[in-house]
Chain A
Amino acid sequence: DADVTQTPRNRITKTGKRIMLECSQTKGHDRMYWYRQDPGLGLRLIYYSFDVKDINKGEISDGYSVSRQAQAKFSLSLESAIPNQTALYFCATASSGADLTGELFFGEGSRLTVL
């Protein structure tokens, strides 16, 4: 089983619908991140969390919200989906002990299409 699991892997929805992408991890890491990837734009940070009570906005948080339900679970919500939120979304984790190495461990991605 994958250490970082994202659900759903693929989702097609309509404009205005509420969507939740879920991420769970078994790595025991306290840091969790949501990125979105678009062709030609690379990976852009949406939100990140260093523990259950610490949630931070990334560079493109507008239109998104997150919930850190437990150390191992970090969910991304689109309250009212719009077509330009069509993208590949990645959850990632990191250990707080990796200050300089900062290695991120990624889930397999969730491909979201908003019609």
Chain B
Amino acid sequence: QKEVEQNSGPLSVPEGAIASLNCTYSDRGSQSFFWYRQYSGKSPELIMFIYSNGDKEDGRFTAQLNKASQYVSLLIRDSQPSDSATYLCAALKRGYQKVTFGTGTKLQVIP
């Protein structure tokens, strides 16, 4: 079982819709969770991090964490074609300082 699991997609949503990206993790010692966006041929860039149960909002993005269910999600409201990218979920186990990545979900926003 991979430590961080994501559906590879592609996830296709129409422009203006809400995109919902999901991630599960297996190690209960993981304390911080991240969403990185990676455009094709580019390096990943951090868009959100969360370490407390509940929701965290930043503009059009909302990260959700449920530690009991070991589940992390990212909602993108009012999706734009420029949001089309691969979204990588990652987990950090405190004390080890290693960030473990999922395989990524490819999002396509259809104009």
Q: Which chain A residues have a beta carbon within 8 Å of chain B's beta carbons?
A: 31, 33, 35, 40-45, 48, 50, 58, 90, 94, 99-104, 106-109
Chain A residues, Cβ within 8 Å of B51:
100
Max chain A CB contacts within 10 Å: which of B36, B43, B88, B102?
B43
Shortest C-beta distance, A39 to chain B (Å), equals 9
Chain A residues, Cβ within 8 Å of B36:
104
A36 and B99 alpha carbons, distance in the complex (Å): 13
Q: Which residue of B lies closest to A45 (CB)?
A: B98
CB distance B8 to A102 under 8 Å? no
Given the contacts A43-B88, A99-B94, A104 and B46 also touching, CB distance less than 8 Å: yes
Q: Which residue of A lies closest to B93 (CB)?
A: A102
Q: Assuming A45-B98, A104-B46, what are 17 further A-B pairs, CB within 8 angstroms?
A: A35-B101, A40-B103, A41-B103, A42-B88, A43-B88, A44-B101, A45-B100, A58-B98, A90-B43, A100-B32, A100-B94, A102-B32, A102-B49, A102-B92, A102-B97, A108-B43, A109-B42
CB distance A42 to B101 under 8 Å? yes
Q: Which chain B residues have a beta carbon within 8 Å of chain A's beta carbons?
A: 8, 31-32, 34, 36, 42-46, 49, 51, 88, 92, 94, 97-104
A102 and B51 alpha carbons, distance in the complex (Å): 11
CB distance B97 to A50 under 8 Å? yes
Other-chain contact of B99, A41, A102, A107, A109 (Cβ < 8 Å)? A102
A31 and B31 alpha carbons, distance in the complex (Å): 19
Other-chain contact of A42, B92, B97, B98, B102 (Cβ < 8 Å)? B102
Q: Which residue of B lies closest to A107 (CB)?
A: B43
Other-chain contact of A101, B32, B42, B43 (Cβ < 8 Å)? B32
CB distance B44 to A103 under 8 Å? no
CB distance A106 to B45 under 8 Å? yes
A33 and B36 alpha carbons, distance in the complex (Å): 16
Shortest C-beta distance, B77 to chain A (Å), equals 23
CB distance A104 to B99 under 8 Å? yes
A106 and B36 alpha carbons, distance in the complex (Å): 11
A46 and B102 alpha carbons, distance in the complex (Å): 15
